Structure 1
Amino acid sequence: MRLVEQLGLRALRQLDPERAHGIALSLLNAGLGPRGGPKTSSRLSTTIAGIAIPNPVGLAAGFDKNATALNALAKTGFGFLEVGAATPWPQPGNPKPRLFRLTQDQAAINRFGFNNDGMDAIAARLAARPKGPVIGLNLGANKDSADKADDFARVLTRCGPHVDFATVNVSSPNTEKLRDLQGKAALGALLDGVMDARAALAHPIPVFLKIAPDLEGDALAEIADVANSTGVAAIVATNTTLDRTGLQAPQAAEVGGLSGQPLFEKSTRVVAQLSTLTELPIIGVGGVGSAEQAYAKIRAGASAIQLYTALVYGGMSLVDDITHGLEERLAEDGFANIADAVGSGRADWL
């Protein structure tokens, strides 16, 4: 990490977390972030659900909720970007404070509640997106919606023409009854509606499904069955957790979803288990803060990874550190391409 970046992160960590995040986005848009674009090579480039990406390190949803920093993020080292979540109507989300740093745990807790500008504003920004990077949109539901399942299809219809993939997010713990949609019958009906909306697009795009890390056993198998049968193109595993085991920070009791380092093992085990239940590509998310952890998720069964919370502690230079480290580890282990390494260490996590 560069000295300037270290000083900047130190200053931002003195501020309220949500305010600091807003300032970080403004600094990126002002041109103060990385400008070299994504690192790529024959080892790092890969394909997810038919989409070619220069490297397997993606930005998770939530960092750029409203698609306001697309041009700046396109110049960073990420191989693909996911923005949102977007809901049909604008909504303010839950009352503040709603974002908490757990510095001792290298983690965060959020209870944002899908605060966003709504699909119309976000669609307008996506329509003006840079054409080079792979950009996806996380689909959400309004808190007061009478038909949350229909919300996902509506956002896809409105924004789908402007993105490369869309992710159905039924795994946020911060919208009441949203996780209830992960049940087999409810999820199947929801995805049928989303896939109908996808089919109606002039250029249908891959639809991903994002799941919670707190699923196991039969519940995880049911999710895999639904994903396998409904035309989902990939599974994003996982969202934040409600588990608080082992936390040290005084903010540990805050209500919301936990992300960051404490989630790494739980989410990686879900990746490994899920990879025995489906042939669909898996995007591993949760606790990735180093090349070693990214490589472990890939070897557990993930075809690509995403990160977000680690940027709070490691800065944007972390992205290039991870891609460089991945390439070194692939070479050391004799893998010609990232795809060859996927699942090679699955047994360690089962």
Structure 2
Amino acid sequence: MTAAAARIERAGLALLRRVDPETAHGLALTALRAGLTPAPGLISSDRLRTQVAGLHLPNPVGLAAGFDKNAEALLGLSRAGFGFLEVGATTPLAQPGNPRPRLFRLTRDRAAINRFGFNNDGMEAMAERLSTRPRDAVIGLNLGANKDSADRAADFAQVMAHCGRHLDFATVNVSSPNTEKLRDLQGKDALAALLGGVIEARNGLAKPIPVFLKIAPDLDAGALKDISEVAIAAGVAGIIATNTTLDRTGLTSSLASEAGGLSGQPLFERSTHVLARLSLLTDGRLPLIGVGGVGSAEQAYAKIRAGASAVQLYTALVYGGLSLLPEIARGLDRLLARDGFGSVAEAVGTGRKDWL
């Protein structure tokens, strides 16, 4: 990225932070669609190329769900240097989500709180947009359930059946704190039934795809053990750890008391502890994707050494812009080389004991 381009991006970020966060997010998506954002293209190397659940990734740094809820900016995002993209969450029927305001910047904490409530255009619109997706990118969909659904477990399978043919992977999201009682589906029996339905729908596709499970960071040791056992038994391809948290420990912002899920830097340690514990519980039987507070190459590397085969980020882009992505990917390459690792896979779990 040239110095001039960096100055333009910094100026753009400063302007966006002067408007309502959700409006700013919409403007960022508009800029992506218009080709007005950094587009370094493929970022890869022999060290960064890796495989996760059969997916061939040019690098292990992905975009977390929630940034592009409705797959409106896939081309721009696919040129931004990510190793993979996750869009959504998507529910069977379109729904408006919770009333505004529902997104809050916690600038002093480099964090955000959201209570969107699965606002999205629904699976019909999502499938149409995914049908024209870039074919040279690895793209997955976060599956959700409608707020007023009589059978939320069935909703996940329905979205899979409708959109699966356009995807490289799908994620079962039972960990959002913003849909009432959704996290109840993380219980052992409920989760087993839900995953069974999604896997059955996946098996009905002409080309079956990996299914990941995204979990909350607010789970105790017993719940993590149950989830890992259910995921392995159900045939899930991997676990994404973690979604946003309800915890507010250590925040300094005046907006800390807003309801919703907290993401960003304050989540890093909490989510990485959960990741390391899952790594111990699964013992190499499932790949893990580390999410929560990734905002630098060092933090991405820490997630990998705690047990993640790949990482995702979102909130850090609010503060660092899309140019942060190539910085993290290339910085990760240097860190791997510094420590004598020939690949991402060689580094996975090598620092797990530091988080247990």
TM-score normalised by L of structure 2 = 0.98
Question: Is 1:247 aligned with 2:251?
Answer: yes
Amino acid at match of 1:192: G
Aligned partner (choices 178, 183, 191) of residue 187 of structure 1: 191
Matched, 1:293 2:299: yes
Deviations 1:256-307 (CA, angstroms, capped at 9, x unpaired): 0000000000000001000011120000000000000000000000000000
Among candidates 307, 312, 317, match of residue 313 of structure 2: 307
Are residues 1:284 and 2:290 paired?
yes
Equivalent in the alignment of 2:238: 234
Which residue matches 2:169? 165
Are residue 98 (structure 1) and residue 117 (structure 2) matched?
no
CA distance in 1: counterparts of 2:324 and 2:345, whole angstroms:
22
Q: 1:256 aligns with which of 253, 260, 281?
A: 260
Q: Is the 8 A contact 1:263 1:286 kept in 2?
A: yes
RMSD between aligned alpha carbons?
0.6
1:349 aligned residue: 355
Q: For this pair of structures, how many residues does the alignment match?
A: 350
Question: Aligned equivalents of 1:61 and 1:37: distance in 2?
Answer: 20
Corresponding residue number in structure 2 for 1:71: 75
In structure 1, which of residues 148, 151, 154 is the aligned counterpart of residue 155 of structure 2?
151
**Could you tell me which amino acid in structure 1 is paired with residue 343 of structure 2?**
N
Residue among 2, 8, 11 paired with 2:12: 8
What residue identity is the alignment partner of 1:203?
A: K
SS in 2 for 1:67: coil
Identity of aligned residues (%): 70
C-alpha separation between the residues in 2 aligned to 1:308 and 1:35? 17
Give the AA of the match of 2:20: D
Among 105, 117, 120, the alignment partner of 2:121 is 117
Q: Deviation above 4 Å: which 4+ runs of structure 1?
A: none
How far, CA to CA, are the matches of 1:76 and 1:316 in structure 2? 7
Partners of 1:85 and 1:27 in 2: CA distance: 21
| CA deviations over 1:213-257 (Å, ceiling 9, x no partner) | 001210000000001100000100000000000000000000000
Report the TM-score when normalising by structure 1: 0.99
Are the aligned partners of 1:167 and 1:207 in contact in 2 as well (CA < 8 Å)?
yes
Q: Distance in 2 between matches of 1:282 and 1:38?
A: 23
In the alignment, what sits opposite 2:269? 265
Q: Name the SS of the counterpart of 1:243 in structure 2.
A: coil
Counterpart residue identity of residue 282, structure 1: L
Give the counterpart letter for 2:142 in structure 1: N
Q: Which amino acid aligns with 1:283?
A: I
Aligned to 2:97, the other structure's residue is in SS state coil
1:124 is matched by which residue type in structure 2?
E
1:108 to 105, 109, 112: 112
- In the alignment, the residues of structure 2 paired with residue 280 and residue 37 of structure 1 have an alpha-carbon distance, to the nearest angstrom, of 30
